Structure 1
Amino acid sequence: MLWNYIRHYIPSIFELLQSFKLRSKEYLRENTLHGFVYFINPYRPLWERVIWFICAITSFCGAVGIIVIIWQRFQSTPTLTDLDIEIGDMTIIYPSIHLCMTSDHLDMTGIPENLTSIYGTYYNWNWKPLNHTEMKLPVPLSKVFQRITPDCNTLLMDCTEQGLAIDCANLFAKSLTPAGICCKSLSRKFTQFNDTPILSFVLRGENYLNMYIHDIDEPPLRHGPIDYQLNRNVDIVLQLDITKSDDGLRMLSRTQRDCVFADEGQSYNNCYRQCMKKKSLEICKCIPWFEIDDKSVMECNLNQYSCFLENIELTDCISECYLFCDHTNYVFVKIGNNDEKTTIRIWKPISQFKRKIRFGWLDILVSFGGIMGLFLGYSILTTVELIYYFSLRLYCGAVIDNIESNKNNNIKKIFVTEREEKSKIFYVKYYDYVD
């Protein structure tokens, strides 16, 4: 009995489809969208219904087209960069300067002759085919190159900072980077008051050094562009373009704003380096010598470097990494000759740019709502009506159709109410199944 009662409230697929068809016509006939109520009305002339249908479809297409354009701009250029202020004296962090050595700086004294060409080839290796694959080295390449390259005190002398003499060992530290063995400047804060060189040193030797200038603690990439090849003493003037980002950019995705905040991830170069190391361990089961910064990871043997040539996706990390939203660009403004020493100074004034949000989610909501309202008379209540008609009203309509179908098919319930024992005649009462 209970099932007979419940089954009337479980409509079939056919009844749901029929209800959907009726609800669609009913919604178009009774909704508040402009023009729809006219072309759906069967009592109006055909030519009038056609005209209203064309007008309604044209308005709908126009609204959708404008919304698509706005959405594409929101995805591609949701931010706006303006010149915030020109700054004279300010406290800034000194850029990270890497003076990286070439294979000409390798001291091959005491190195067996059969290893000298191998060391030079692998030090300069830049994703090109290699012939030395069978030989095993007694000492990993990363340790060999650290040992046979000169110290920073050997390459540089008479270092000064902000006009004050300082030991070059306290200003530069020898380190292993993706660009090779480098002398890395130690990051410091300074206040610019005048044109005094912020850094100067005397360059020793005839072999040139590859100079890279980046933000603090950002190592150069192996395949990245070289800012300058330093083979003599010069005067270098840098222009600082500082970009600051509004906190409102945090509501956008990284892809939209095309940057990350410092508390959200690593800098571009560090991210690229970690991505490559992760893929190297997964695919080649080792790390190339120039990426070794952890003694626990396995450094590649000579015969394992061919793996990097066979798997080009190892260096495909561009889509995973972004610049910092707050960053500084260092632009070479002037490079002049200097017979005495190399000097690096900052161009005045320093420019600061501000990145602000152009399209926020609230702006998108207002824009979409205004466009739909202008072209179609759409509103939030129209959405509520749409949900109501095609959820609760659709189901209730299907249930009513189910009950009426049962009634029209004369489905009846039979109850035995009384029995004559002598004549064995049954009196049966029929009750229509009606509300």
Structure 2
Amino acid sequence: MPQTHTVKLDRSDKNQAWNPKSDRNTELISNVEQSFFSQTTIHGLKYLLEPKKTRFERGFWILAVICSWAFAAFMIIQVIITYHFFFNSPQHIVLAKWQESPILVSYDSTTTPIWELPFPALTICNMNKVQRSRIEAIEAILKRNASNDFYAKERRFATEICQKTTARHSELQRAPSNQDVSVANLDIDGKMLQHYMNNLGQDCSQMLLRCEFKGISRNCSELFIPVITDEGRCCSFNIMPESIMFKDVSVEQLQVEDHEETVKLWSHWDMETGYRFGPNEYDGEINITSDAEPMPRRAVAPGLHMGLSVLLDVREQEYYCSGTESIGFKALLHTPATLPEMIEYGFAFEPGSETFLAVTPEMIHAEEQIHGISYIKRQCYLKGERRLKYLNHYTFLNCFMECASNFTFKTCDCVAYYMPRNSKTMPICAPERHACVDRAIKIVQESAFDDKHAENTECNCLPPCSDFSYPHETSKSKLKAALLNLSQDLIKAHPEFLNESYVNHNLALVHLHFQNLHFIRHLRSELFGLTDFFATIGGLLGLSMGFSVLSLVEIVYFLVLKLLCKAIKPN
């Protein structure tokens, strides 16, 4: 039992100021300390001042307590006292290691139906960028009238499109004789660009012969729209129109009728929050074969007949320049709000084959808890955090494409024809500037996706916190002309489609569908919340010291309240 002491105070002592150095007050502090050490619930402390302990025993317990506290301190440092600097400024210090990587990606506990995300946007490009018949027609015109600036400019623009081509058509690399090769840029506005692309590339009506969606035959022009990509003029299904995807500064002067109606059709869906209505809430309101279909389209069931089927014609006789060393098509599955980047990410399918693309989507959803975490630490952008200059919707590839455009213009004073741009201030690079464009794009490719080392390009392209993609399995078989299901009108217009040789060298059939009705999405959530943080620290303190909230109350009681009470009323 601790010793008790009686301290006598005379009347004059009550008027004296508190002085911890006086003998009486020193004795009082010593008594409170002994009382605390003997009665506290913190492990090991009662053995430090316990009477009748040998020096060895007392030293052993002092060492044990120090080691236990040191272990607790070390473990807590691993959790909360790791300093790190960001924004390159010592004023911004984070005192929590769990804040350096605070995001946990896990599986959702429930499955998600496929109708909660759009059907994949499918972009298809003929590997032939420029039709031979059009080049021959242009050169015939220039031969008769070499001073015709409109066709001379189109011929030069064709050279620009075919820069990344094989040596097979190296004759395209020569500039027309009436052109001054010292001219750096092509004076082409948005309307002229569209006109040239429509003339030079294969028209979607020539490429797409037969289309079906959800088991219903559809007019291909209702499902596909022409788009400009790094592979030339392509055709896209379920993609946002340029009038919605681009901001006003970069819309290439398209004649979009009923723009308000188009905006309304696309107003039911958002990249981050998804669809506003269920898949069957439109029944009775619209005709699924009309242009008033809510966008983007979605599937309500998996399987071949609930997907998209397209019959394609490559028109081998029209090949003039190709970005590959083969004949066929390039395709890409992407989100409806993404600009397709065909050269780097497109996959090929060959003529003479029937190709099946079975999609198992992947989706990641950002929970509300991560909204308070800086994008630097979570390494992704929430809606509205990263705004683009030319595009209304942020996606990973949209950011890259815009960054490539900005950096190319900064480096070469012009941009590639397929890059988003302000057509009034950013000219299209002439073929002579192709090397400069390639160097700029290479620099962007090396740094655009690294937010810590993007000083030169200033891209800072991180993925969206809520995103989805369309991984797929591919299988194919050989087409046979006699087995093709062709309408009489199509056979009458193209009798060559019954020729086995023509089918093997030109036609391709593609089927795109979901593999399963449900999929398991990923959740991007908080790794350590405030509750987890205190639970971790409390667990370490309890394990090493037996420390709890009541232990803190004991310290306050003995070393503050009791000490004051003893000083004021010693009896």
TM-score normalised according to structure 1 size: 0.64
Tell me, in whole angstroms, the C-alpha distance in 2 between the residues paired with 1:146 and 1:328.
Answer: 32
Tell me, in whole angstroms, the C-alpha distance in 2 between the residues paired with 1:97 and 1:237.
Answer: 11
1:250 is aligned to 371
Letter in 2 for 1:323: P
- Change in 2 beyond 3 A, CA 1:307/1:336: closer
Shift of 1:214: 0.9
Tell me, in whole angstroms, the C-alpha distance in 1 between the residues paired with 2:188 and 2:44.
Answer: 78
Tell me, in whole angstroms, the C-alpha distance in 2 between the residues paired with 1:330 and 1:135.
Answer: 43
Instruction: For 1:26-45, list aligned pairs within 5 A.
Output: none
2:307 is aligned to 198
1:11 is aligned to none
1:241 aligns with 2:335: no
Work out the percentage of aligned pairs sharing the same amino acid.
16
Tell me, in whole angstroms, the C-alpha distance in 2 between the residues paired with 1:68 and 1:325.
Answer: 27
8 Å contact from structure 1 (residues 99, 183) kept in 2: yes
2:535 is aligned to 366
2:397 is aligned to 269
SS at match of 1:224: helix
Shift of 1:223: 5.5
- Change in 2 beyond 3 A, CA 1:278/1:68: farther
2:517 is aligned to 349
1:95 is aligned to 120
Shift of 1:363: 1.3
Shift of 1:343: 2.0
Shift of 1:35: 7.2
Letter in 1 for 2:351: N
Instruction: For 1:79-90, list aligned pairs within 5 A.
Output: 79-82=105-108, 84-85=110-111, 87=113, 90=115
Tell me, in whole angstroms, the C-alpha distance in 2 between the residues paired with 1:37 and 1:179.
Answer: 79
TM-score normalised according to structure 2 size: 0.50
- Change in 2 beyond 3 A, CA 1:342/1:307: closer
Tell me, in whole angstroms, the C-alpha distance in 2 between the residues paired with 1:123 and 1:375.
Answer: 69
Q: Deviations over 1:249-271 (max 9, x none)?
A: 33444355444444544111112
1:322 is aligned to 462
Higher mean alpha-carbon deviation, 267-276 vs 311-320, is at 311-320
Tell me, in whole angstroms, the C-alpha distance in 2 between the residues paired with 1:131 and 1:105.
Answer: 15
Tell me, in whole angstroms, the C-alpha distance in 1 between the residues paired with 2:534 and 2:165.
Answer: 56
Instruction: For 1:354-433, list aligned pairs within 5 A.
Output: 354-355=522-523, 357=525, 358-376=527-545
SS at match of 1:93: coil
8 Å contact from structure 1 (residues 236, 344) kept in 2: yes
**Aligned mate of 1:121, from 140, 160, 163:** 163
Shift of 1:204: 0.5
1:303 is aligned to 433
8 Å contact from structure 1 (residues 177, 290) kept in 2: yes
Tell me, in whole angstroms, the C-alpha distance in 2 between the residues paired with 1:66 and 1:257.
Answer: 23
- Change in 2 beyond 3 A, CA 1:49/1:182: farther
Letter in 2 for 1:348: N
Q: Deviations over 1:307-361 (max 9, x none)?
A: 6526854332113333344433322224222623322222123313241634323
Tell me, in whole angstroms, the C-alpha distance in 2 between the residues paired with 1:337 and 1:303.
Answer: 43
8 Å contact from structure 2 (residues 361, 470) kept in 1: yes
- Change in 2 beyond 3 A, CA 1:76/1:338: farther
Tell me, in whole angstroms, the C-alpha distance in 2 between the residues paired with 1:155 and 1:35.
Answer: 83
1:151 is aligned to 203
2:70 is aligned to 60
- Change in 2 beyond 3 A, CA 1:115/1:239: closer
Gaps of 5+ in 2: 1-35, 81-96, 140-151, 167-172, 176-180, 239-295, 317-326, 387-393, 451-459, 485-508, 556-571
8 Å contact from structure 1 (residues 94, 190) kept in 2: yes
Tell me, in whole angstroms, the C-alpha distance in 2 between the residues paired with 1:37 and 1:355.
Answer: 49
- Change in 2 beyond 3 A, CA 1:334/1:311: closer
1:219 aligns with 2:245: no
Shift of 1:174: 1.1
8 Å contact from structure 2 (residues 158, 200) kept in 1: no
Tell me, in whole angstroms, the C-alpha distance in 1 between the residues paired with 2:414 and 2:46.
Answer: 69
2:321 is aligned to none
1:177 is aligned to 229
Q: Deviations over 1:246-301 (max 9, x none)?
A: 33333444355444444544111112222333333444443222213432341353
Gaps of 5+ in 1: 1-29, 125-129, 387-435
- Change in 2 beyond 3 A, CA 1:53/1:236: same
8 Å contact from structure 2 (residues 332, 342) kept in 1: no
Shift of 1:97: 0.8
Shift of 1:106: 4.1
8 Å contact from structure 1 (residues 260, 324) kept in 2: yes
1:402 is aligned to none
RMSD of Structure 2 on Structure 1 (CA): 4.5
Q: Deviations over 1:169-196 (max 9, x none)?
A: 2211111134543211134233227641
Tell me, in whole angstroms, the C-alpha distance in 2 between the residues paired with 1:381 and 1:281.
Answer: 66
Q: Deviations over 1:203-234 (max 9, x none)?
A: 10244121000112212236532233353442
- Change in 2 beyond 3 A, CA 1:201/1:84: same
Shift of 1:98: 0.9
Q: How many equivalent pairs are there?
A: 351
8 Å contact from structure 2 (residues 212, 309) kept in 1: yes
Shift of 1:59: 3.6
SS at match of 2:211: strand
Letter in 1 for 2:536: S
2:415 is aligned to 287
8 Å contact from structure 2 (residues 357, 475) kept in 1: yes
1:404 is aligned to none
8 Å contact from structure 1 (residues 174, 183) kept in 2: yes
